[in-house]
Amino acid sequence: MASLPHASGKDKAKALRQRIDASLDGLAQAVDDVRASETFRQFLDVQARFHKYSWHNTLLICMQRPDATQVAGYRTWQKLGRQVCKGEGGIMIFAPCPWKREKETDTGETETEQGIYFKAVHVFDVGQTDGPDLPTVDVPTVDARADDLLANLIRVAESRGIAVNFRPISSGPFGASKHGSIDVDNSHATGQQAKTLSHELAHEALHWEDRGPFTRSLAELEAESVAYVVCLHFGLNTEVRSSRYIALWDGDSKALRASLECIANTARDIIDDVEVPDARKAVA
Ligand SMILES: [Zn+2]
């Protein structure tokens, strides 16, 4: 029985949604596998030993050593198996020291007085220490080529009024979403660039609108999941990178499923936009 064009469009949409849901299921499982792995547990274990410094101390660290990445006291470094190198000057911060003392009142009773004073202490950046590397979670770049997908994604960005700037980015993330423009690091394979561009397109679509408060972790989980679904749809599998990236941003399968609708809809919009010219070709 020949189906009406309208019905076939509906069927196509339904099939696409099923495919998206299946890939998101796979991703959710992969993220949980990363979180359950021994490497990830060791990484979290070490991260937990780094003190979360106050805003004030963070500024002090940044002023004295702008390139500091991981900072800890002399003894903490020793416990982590690393030694502060000879001749390295410490970074001065203020450590809160609570105090307490017993005091006798006029009536002869004992009263406890307490307060906090701040004492200057010195901490050291990982670059000032020597020893075995700390456990990390490697987030490999995508090294496959995807020239066609990249070209199509650039066209999608342009059709949405978003300018894409390709440039080498020396450190930090491979791209940036700037509300109306996107930066993509072009020093990687076109597969990685396509992954980055779909990630930033998702940020552009989802994270500049006023939708109430959300965390950076959630924004990264959503953007990376959209990128994963879009890339996989066009034959580029980014599971290793995407699952580790999401786990490092503290995402898990529960958070992914809670955002499923928003991820699936955003991915479908991008996939549809990429496929538009093919549809036109088919009609012509
Ligand atoms: Zn991002």
Tens of pLDDT, residue by residue over 154-211, are: 999 999 999 999 999 877 789 999 999 999 999 999 999 999 999 999 999 999 988 8
Task: Tell me how far the alpha carbon of residue 222 lies from the centroid of ligand 1, in angstroms.
Answer: 9
Task: Tell me how far the alpha carbon of residue 202 lies from the centroid of ligand 1, in angstroms.
Answer: 9
DSSP 134: P
Mean pLDDT of 137-159: 96
Pairing between strand 129-130 and 83-84? antiparallel
**In this predicted structure, which of 97-106, 144-153, 230-239 has the lowest mean pLDDT?**
97-106
Longest dimension (CA), the chain: 101
Q: What percent of the chain has pLDDT over 70?
A: 95
Encode pLDDT of 224-244 as tens digits. 999 999 999 999 999 999 999
Residues comprising the chain, all counted: 284
Task: Tell me how far the alpha carbon of residue 284 lies from the centroid of ligand 1, in angstroms.
Answer: 38
Task: Tell me how far the alpha carbon of residue 200 lies from the centroid of ligand 1, in angstroms.
Answer: 6
Task: Tell me how far the alpha carbon of residue 122 lies from the centroid of ligand 1, in angstroms.
Answer: 34
Mean pLDDT of 69-79: 93
Give residue 164's identity as a one-letter amino acid code: V
Task: Tell me how far the alpha carbon of residue 175 lies from the centroid of ligand 1, in angstroms.
Answer: 8
The domain limits of the chain are 11-41+137-283, 71-130
Quick one: CA torsion of 108, 114, 117, 119, rounded to 10 degrees? 90
